[in-house]
């Protein structure tokens, strides 16, 4: 196999092509190429694709740490390059080794010198080009419709997968030396005043459908039960990092304010604006607020939370993607629905960037 593949490769490289016997059998180089594509590149792409899924990476423990998201991305990219090479090389060879015979094989199922397959090849290419020319501008003009169509077709599948609840934590040695900060920083005199006063005048307002609306100072929150956890932050942009967070369990806050039975969601409002202006907010299911790893964090890696990472207070909801963990929290509102908020899509990024409706990792 390998000597035959090498010999065939030399013939192709010299442009002295070997006799084409593809109708009956593949030469050594073709067999080796197809073997790599089907039995190596495809499984590698599938496995590394799954390992980029935060829930899967989180749930598989040591294997998720060995083949973490970043390693999986790099390997996945290499396998992707193989497929690009295979498609380009395959397409070129179809043209240069006998377009008429090859299109007969692919589109007419015959092995002769006729032109019976070529018209079907041209028709297929015309349909593809026409579809692309129509679909591209249509999807840009109707982005929300495309999003709703996607929700209809795969939303229920994502809903079934939500039972896959990652709860694993990391160790001190896994903490990343640097955790990338994201988000548009607060830019207001009021926030500058909070920083100057070391957040002593900060108040977290909790209201909406609750029995006991409350305002908490930072000192009030720090006086409550403290929970510490070492977890992986998964950004929707593809990067990840590990940090140790500490703060107040959200379920303890709920025990104090007592959400009403009709309260189904918790809305977190930020002091900061989003990238397209307007107040940044995000909506969470109330059941998620009772998750054992959902806290209002005021510490990171054993120190007070920095402004860059969301001080004075940020949400850590470890079964969600990073953009849903609101930083610089100013208020929490319990509601029965979110359709009246923003564009009614469950959060600032969902409103502006067409992120999916379901975002648990």
Class of residue 322 by CB neighbours under 10 A (exposed 0-12, middle 13-18, buried 19+):
buried
Is the pLDDT at 123 greater than 90? The verdict is yes
* Range 160-179 average pLDDT: 84
Is the pLDDT at 291 greater than 90? The verdict is yes
Is the pLDDT at 149 greater than 70? The verdict is yes
Higher pLDDT, 164 or 309: 309
* Range 201-225 average pLDDT: 97
Residue 185: per-residue pLDDT: 94
Supply the DSSP symbol for 210: B
Q: 181-190, 202-211, 244-253 — which is least confidently predicted?
A: 181-190
Reading the block at residue 298, the tokens are 């005021």
Over residues 300-319, the pLDDT tens digits come to 999 999 999 999 999 999 98
Residue 357: per-residue pLDDT: 63
* Range 242-256 average pLDDT: 98
* pTM summary value: 0.82
Q: 19-23, 74-78, 150-154, 280-284 — which is least confidently predicted?
A: 19-23
Higher pLDDT, 343 or 160: 343
Q: To the nearest 5 percent, what fractions of the chain are helix, strand and coil?
A: 45, 20, 35
Strand partners, 270: 329
Domain boundaries, the chain: 2-161, 172-353
Helices of type H across 113-217 = 118-141, 143-161, 189-196
Distance CA 68, CA 356 (A): 24
Over residues 262-289, the pLDDT tens digits come to 999 999 999 999 988 899 999 999 999 9
The maximal CA–CA distance of the chain, rounded, in angstroms, is: 86
Supply the DSSP symbol for 322: G
For the chain, first and last CA: distance in Å?
44
Q: Which CATH class is domain 172-353?
A: alpha beta
Residue 358: per-residue pLDDT: 67
* Range 19-25 average pLDDT: 79
Distance CA 355, CA 87 (A): 31
Angle between helices 42-51 and 69-96 (to 10 degrees): 150
Residue 359: per-residue pLDDT: 67
φ/ψ region of 38 (left if φ > 0, alpha if ψ in -120 to 50, else beta) reads alpha
Over residues 28-38, the pLDDT tens digits come to 999 999 999 99
Contact by Cβ (8 Å): 113, 102: no
Residue 202: per-residue pLDDT: 97
Q: What percent of the chain has pLDDT over 70?
A: 99
Q: Is the dihedral angle over the CA atoms 72, 78, 79, 84 positive or is it negative?
A: positive
What is the CA angle 292-295-299, rounded to 5? 130
DSSP reduced 3-state for 269? strand
């Amino acid at each position: 196999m390998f000597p035959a593949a090498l010999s065939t490769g030399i013939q192709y490289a010299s442009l002295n092509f070997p006799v084409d016997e593809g109708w009956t059998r593949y030469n050594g180089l073709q067999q080796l190429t197809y073997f790599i594509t089907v039995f190596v590149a495809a499984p590698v792409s599938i496995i590394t694709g799954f390992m980029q899924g935060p829930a899967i990476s989180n749930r598989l423990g040591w294997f998720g740490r060995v083949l973490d998201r970043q390693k999986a991305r790099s390997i996945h990219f290499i396998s992707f390059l193989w497929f690009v090479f295979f498609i380009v090389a395959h397409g070129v060879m179809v043209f240069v080794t006998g377009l008429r015979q090859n299109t007969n094989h692919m589109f007419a199922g015959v092995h002769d010198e006729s032109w019976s397959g070529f018209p079907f090849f041209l028709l297929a290419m015309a349909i593809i080009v026409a579809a692309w020319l129509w679909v591209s501008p249509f999807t840009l003009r109707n982005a929300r419709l495309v999003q709703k169509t996607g929700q209809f077709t795969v939303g229920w599948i994502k809903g079934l997968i939500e039972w896959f609840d990652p709860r694993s934590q990391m160790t001190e040695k896994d903490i990343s030396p640097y955790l990338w900060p994201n988000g548009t920083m607060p830019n207001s005199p009021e926030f500058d005043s909070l920083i100057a006063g070391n957040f002593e005048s900060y108040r977290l307002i909790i209201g909406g459908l609750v029995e006991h609306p409350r305002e908490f100072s930072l000192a009030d929150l720090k006086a409550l039960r403290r929970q510490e956890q070492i977890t992986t932050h998964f950004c929707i942009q593809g990067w990840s990092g590990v940090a140790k967070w500490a703060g107040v369990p959200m379920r303890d806050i709920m025990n104090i304010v007592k959400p009403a039975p009709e309260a189904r969601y918790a809305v977190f409002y930020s002091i900061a604006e989003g990238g397209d202006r307007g107040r940044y907010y995000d909506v969470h299911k109330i059941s998620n607020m009772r998750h054992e790893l959902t806290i209002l964090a005021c510490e990171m890696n054993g120190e007070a939370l920095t402004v860059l990472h969301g001080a004075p207070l940020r949400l850590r909801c470890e079964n969600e993607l990073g953009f849903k963990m609101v930083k610089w929290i100013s208020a929490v509102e319990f509601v029965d629905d979110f359709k009246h908020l923003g564009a009614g899509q469950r959060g600032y990024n969902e409103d502006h960037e067409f992120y999916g409706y379901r975002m648990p990792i």
